[in-house]
Amino acid sequence: MELAARKGLKPRRNRTDTQKLGLTVLLLVVVRVLWLRQNPAPPLRADLSPWKRQAVRVTHIALYGLMLGFPISGIALTVWSGESLEVYSWSLYGLAAPDPKLAAYAATFHNLILPALFYGTIAAHLSAVTKHHFADRRTLDVRRMLR
Ligand code: HEM
Ligand code: HEM
């Protein structure tokens, strides 16, 4: 039983499956970032203007930040709510003292601020990729992702 329910707080809907998925995202992104430190991405095309290089860099860093920020704030809001953290088959209790105020901040971040930033950043990323692919006709560049 969840700690929140035992204490008579409002129990939440069971979201453990999506939370496991979120933890898997966290794991994969951490592995990817460690991987990138050893094997940096290939350099951008030489003819990109400086502002475009900067925009690409900012967008990619933001995408990594979002992919990390979602699961980290999800863990934070769960733990600060006084609930168990479901890590695959383990239920971890009491990782931090419950703090409803911090839990509410983390929830606003997780449910509202990050999704808003995510839509904006994905829109920027996909517009850039689409323009690059179709308008600039650099149709082979998508394959760089496999190298
Ligand atoms: C890539 C990872 C994740 C994404 C994209 C994500 C996204 C979201 C979104 C969009 C919501 C709002 C849903 C709604 O309004 O009904 C939500 C809620 C929630 N997420 Fe995540 N999440 C992720 C990872 C996690 C993890 C790892 C945990 C906990 C271990 C978690 C715990 C929760 C909880 C408890 C809620 C409900 C919050 C509330 O009741 O206010 N999430 N998540
Ligand atoms: C249809 C969807 C998408 C397409 C076609 C696409 C395409 C691309 C392309 C062509 C690159 C450049 C690779 C290079 O030449 O260096 C790239 C990089 C990247 N994309 Fe996407 N993308 C998509 C969706 C996403 C989503 C949903 C995310 C994140 C949630 C994302 C995150 C990233 C990141 C972080 C990089 C930089 C990778 C690195 O160099 O470390 N992309 N994407």
What is the whole-number distance in angstroms between the Cα of residue 59 and the centre of ligand 2?
10
Q: So what's the pLDDT on residue 80?
A: 96
Assess contact for 133 and 97: CB atoms under 8 A.
Answer: no
The preferred substitution site among 68, 70, 129 for testing ligand 2, maximizing ligand atoms within 8 Å of CB, is 129
Q: Which ligand is nearest to the CA of 72?
A: 1
- In order along its 147 residues, the chain shows pLDDT tens digits of 445 444 544 555 556 778 889 999 999 999 999 999 999 988 888 888 999 999 999 999 999 999 999 999 999 999 999 999 999 888 999 899 999 999 999 999 999 999 999 999 999 999 999 998 888 888 888 887 776
| 3-state DSSP helix/strand/coil % of the chain, to nearest 5 | 70, 5, 30
Q: So what's the pLDDT on residue 17?
A: 79
Residue 24 CB coordination number (10 Å): 12
The preferred substitution site among 111, 117, 121, 122 for testing ligand 1, maximizing ligand atoms within 8 Å of CB, is 111
**Sign of the CA dihedral running 135, 40, 70, 86:** positive
